[in-house]
Amino acid sequence: MISFVRGQVWKVGPDYLVVDTGTSGMKVSCPPLTAIGSRVGDHVLLHTSLVVREDSWTLYGFETDEEVLLFDMVQTVSGIGPRIALGVVATLSPAELRTAIATDDTAALKKISGIGAKGASRMVLELKDKVGAPESPGSIRSLPTTTSWRLAIGSALASLGWNTREADLAMDRVAESHPEEVSISDPDISLLLKAALRSLDRS
């Protein structure tokens, strides 16, 4: 069991990092905000979960232990695998997920790519006794970026399963709803990604 990976970022992808641990380069799948918030040469410590399948071993990495626990827990829900579980962690903070489950807020859960009405109801039913009491949502740190906000958000949405048309529509809505934020050179990518995901709510 690999509990964490620590080292220098060797490569950055839209939803993964390759970390130079000193003896090897480990590819770690991670939430898009974690990936696009990293730069080659950064030193990182990622808390990890290893998912073993018959045809693959995939290492998933997160910034906190709590995200790992929720990632593993969400996969206990019928029909949810690691890809959708990663989308859950990428879309909702641990506090937001607990609140959504505790308050039967299926609308919040349906914002996650791959989760429809039935999936959201199943999450509430199967996780209500597991996630613990809700807490006040913490603030998500703003991530500096030197790339176009549309490129960063587009890559993040694609890695979460949205197609190009859906991503473009979401970004157009974000541009209309957050004109001041998208006009600055260093926008809050976390804020814009959350706004894009909210606009992609599916019935």
The amino acid at 135: E
Confidence of residue 146 (pLDDT cuts 50, 70, 90): very low
- CB-based burial of residue 149 (10 Å sphere; 0-12 exposed, 13-18 middle, 19+ buried)? buried
Residue 8: HSE in the Cβ half-sphere, 13 Å Cα cutoff: 5
Q: Which stretches of 60-188 are DSSP H helices?
A: 65-74, 82-91, 94-102, 106-109, 117-127, 149-159, 164-177, 179-183
CA 43, 89, 112, 74 dihedral sign is positive
First-to-last alpha carbon distance for the chain, in angstroms, is 38
pLDDT value of position 174 = 87
Cα–Cα dist 169/10, whole Å:
33
Helix, strand, or coil (residue 94): helix
pLDDT value of position 134 = 64
pLDDT in tens, 90-137: 888 888 888 999 899 999 899 888 899 999 999 999 998 877 666 544
Locate 201 and state its tokens. Answer: 């709510």
Cα–Cα dist 18/20, whole Å:
7
Confidence of residue 32 (pLDDT cuts 50, 70, 90): confident
Helix, strand, or coil (residue 121): helix
**78 and 126 in contact (C-beta within 8 Å)?**
yes
* Residue 156, pLDDT above cutoff 50: yes
Cα–Cα dist 42/30, whole Å:
15
Q: What value does the mean pLDDT of the chain take?
A: 83
Element (H, E) at 19: strand 16-20
Confidence of residue 154 (pLDDT cuts 50, 70, 90): confident
pLDDT value of position 62 = 95
User: Average pLDDT, stretch 71-90?
Assistant: 90
pLDDT value of position 201 = 64
